[in-house]
Structure 1
């Protein structure tokens, strides 16, 4: 009986903290912090409480969703595996600059976190009016509202990742030309990763050129690395790399 009473006392002491779920909202919002949620809570429940500033960059807002972490961990592992495979294949084929590029990209990707980012429209007005999905939240989710960046990043088969100043209505391929593209690049395509996490492969060669495609502030442009001329090609590498880059949220404070 005494043990039973002690057990009940322990439940009373810890009970209020058990089962409490919370979502974090950070960045350019009036009330950042953790917000307790109940089962069935949706995006709008915490967006209303956090109050994102009207001047914040809603297009680049990110929802880090815990349920996607495992899937994106596997995606990152696949990218790293293919980069290591590409490096070894390039060395065997005597393409040393390709091997060096693969090794550098491997180190860059290895340092990126697995975020669990869920592609979603987080514009408070769109969510409230029903133009965007008011999705269910999970315990531990994180919403980030960044400030508007002033650059576009070019990544991949370039001498080094570079930040190019954003220019209104400038096409994607013009940003890539502002960086030193390597001879080991795949020349027919670029990958555009918009700040909302959307990914698109874009034709840029004479035979497949897509005109009129512009990048928003904070976009990433992946210059793909070539592998079709190797004994061990990695045909899915560039798409998977672009998809993993899309999981990386913008910085909360604009540089």
Structure 2
């Protein structure tokens, strides 16, 4: 009789493990929850869901329960810095900068905390060992979207733009069709590829980087100038880019 509670606990543990699942949505042959075996990895889920070859594997997203808290803190930090920027801009009599900070604050506020992990989700690359076969957890999600032939430009622009994707066009050249504001940092932009990889790119004559080409579905963040304020907010644009990288096409507002 004394062993019953222990046996019950073991049975409960076994049941909870067997019920662990990862949900797969988007352009896959078998969408829905996939039972996750103990120690289950990406290949265990992908082999059941079978993403279609026509889906845009580069923009696929792995949303992790374990990353929600960390990314929630990132979002809070970005919102805090934007509010500091707004107040500081008002103190320095830069009302246009304050309005931009408020607009960005409203945009980020509407964006969800996704828990997206930056990793390669190409089924072939994972299968042959060219990409990590990531260990998964209960409640994680996989999303395989359709291709979107656009590049989105955000940040210190008059209005966010969705521009037609142009093969091999440099990141800086998209700004010709989505002009920056006078409150933009003119020397750089942030390139956020559809897989979540993020890079600061030099675009001024003195630091211009060539070969920085967005893929279809990328985002370009035009950074907000703040080094002329006291105090400056040096990490604002990088953290904003990192948070934008967690967003998927299906959930960006």
TM-score normalised by length of structure 1: 0.92
Are residue 94 (structure 1) and residue 87 (structure 2) matched? no
Structure 2 unaligned residues grouped into runs of 5+:
none
Which secondary structure does the structure 1 equivalent of 2:246 belong to?
Answer: coil
* Deviation digits for residues 186-216 of structure 1 (CA, Å, limit 9, x no counterpart): 0000000000000000000010000121110
The CA distance in 2 between the partners of 1:128 and 1:17, in whole Å, is: 29
The CA distance in 2 between the partners of 1:216 and 1:39, in whole Å, is: 36
Are residue 152 (structure 1) and residue 147 (structure 2) matched? no
Which secondary structure does the structure 2 equivalent of 1:74 belong to?
Answer: helix
Which secondary structure does the structure 1 equivalent of 2:124 belong to?
Answer: helix
Q: Equivalent residue for 2:75?
A: 76
Which secondary structure does the structure 2 equivalent of 1:197 belong to?
Answer: coil
The answer to whether the 8 A contact 1:185-1:226 is kept is: yes
How far is the alpha carbon of 1:104 from its aligned partner?
A: 0.3
Q: Equivalent residue for 1:40?
A: 39
Q: Equivalent residue for 2:226?
A: 227
The CA distance in 2 between the partners of 1:176 and 1:251, in whole Å, is: 24
* Deviation digits for residues 65-87 of structure 1 (CA, Å, limit 9, x no counterpart): 11111110111011000000000
Runs in 1 of length 4+ with deviation above 2 angstroms? 14-19
Q: Equivalent residue for 1:60?
A: 59
How many residue pairs end up in the alignment?
Answer: 248
Which secondary structure does the structure 2 equivalent of 1:201 belong to?
Answer: strand
The CA distance in 2 between the partners of 1:15 and 1:184, in whole Å, is: 56
How far is the alpha carbon of 1:15 from its aligned partner?
A: 8.8
The answer to whether the 8 A contact 1:59-1:195 is kept is: yes
What is the alpha-carbon root mean square deviation over aligned residues?
A: 2.1
Q: Equivalent residue for 2:194?
A: 195
The answer to whether the 8 A contact 1:155-1:223 is kept is: yes
Q: Equivalent residue for 2:180?
A: 181
The CA distance in 2 between the partners of 1:250 and 1:136, in whole Å, is: 24
Q: Equivalent residue for 1:110?
A: 109
The CA distance in 1 between the partners of 2:200 and 2:223, in whole Å, is: 10
TM-score normalised by length of structure 2: 0.93
Which secondary structure does the structure 2 equivalent of 1:186 belong to?
Answer: coil
The CA distance in 1 between the partners of 2:183 and 2:22, in whole Å, is: 43
Structure 1 unaligned residues grouped into runs of 5+:
none
How far is the alpha carbon of 1:17 from its aligned partner?
A: 6.0
Higher alpha-carbon deviation: 182-191 or 30-39:
30-39
Which secondary structure does the structure 2 equivalent of 1:233 belong to?
Answer: coil
The CA distance in 1 between the partners of 2:201 and 2:179, in whole Å, is: 19
Which secondary structure does the structure 2 equivalent of 1:24 belong to?
Answer: strand
The CA distance in 2 between the partners of 1:80 and 1:37, in whole Å, is: 36
Are residue 245 (structure 1) and residue 252 (structure 2) matched? no
Which secondary structure does the structure 1 equivalent of 2:189 belong to?
Answer: strand
The answer to whether the 8 A contact 1:85-1:232 is kept is: no
